[in-house]
Chains A and B, each alone.
Chain A
Amino acid sequence: GENVEQHPSTLSVQEGDSAVIKCTYSDSASNYFPWYKQELGKRPQLIIDIRSNVGEKKDQRIAVTLNKTAKHFSLHITETQPEDSAVYFCAARTLYGNNRLAFGKGNQVVVIP
């Protein structure tokens, strides 16, 4: 099955700087890549997603890039703010898996004021 890995496991950034989280996936048939944010004690919530026919997608301060050849995708957060501190999960869905998602283990992002 699909295997998704995230790096680094923990990331500390100064407020205002950018943060980048990278994920790799194993199944070349995967075609949908969402990113979820989970604040402490809360449920995961979708913040952005990308499909395999698109190389980049932006939504205000966040963006996701996809490299299908290398089988990796990245989350970019610009002008980080304290409220960006959370655990971020990437995931991948294979073409024939309906909505079954394989999640990475998560990245703890800490924004230092």
Chain B
Amino acid sequence: NAGVTQTPKFQVLKTGQSMTLQCAQDMNHEYMSWYRQDPGMGLRLIHYSVGAGITDQGEVPNGYNVSRSTTEDFPLRLLSAAPSQTSVYFCASSRIGTEQGAHEQYFGPGTRLTVT
């Protein structure tokens, strides 16, 4: 298994440009999510999905769109890049939890994005 993969590893954008960060997993996980990591801020949830066709907002969704057309893929779109979106982006996946317990989230290697 490749686990969770992300492309690209590095990206530089100019303000106003748009782009899509790719995320894929081969573990048949229902749950997928996107986080951004900034110094001193920890991991903040952008968007998440509990299955194909179902997405929801996290704590910092503004400026980002997601879709989930298949179980495997969960792309993150930056509509009009801003310098405030300079960050490291992690995708993660896991099996769906239940009331009795949750399952480990597996993280991708990350995408380092710089917006100038």
Contacts and interface: CB of A to CB of B under 8 A. Distances in A.
Decide whether A and B assemble into one complex.
yes
B40 interface: yes
- How big is chain B's contact interface, by range? 20 to 34
A58 interface: no
A98 B31 contact: yes
Contacts, number: 62
Interface in B79-116: 90, 94-97, 99, 101-105, 107-110
B42 A95 contact: no
Interface string A86-113: 0001000101001111111110000000
Contact of A93 (B43, B102, B108, B110): B102
A98 B90 contact: no
Interface of A: 1, 9, 31-32, 34, 42-46, 49, 51, 89, 93, 95, 98-106
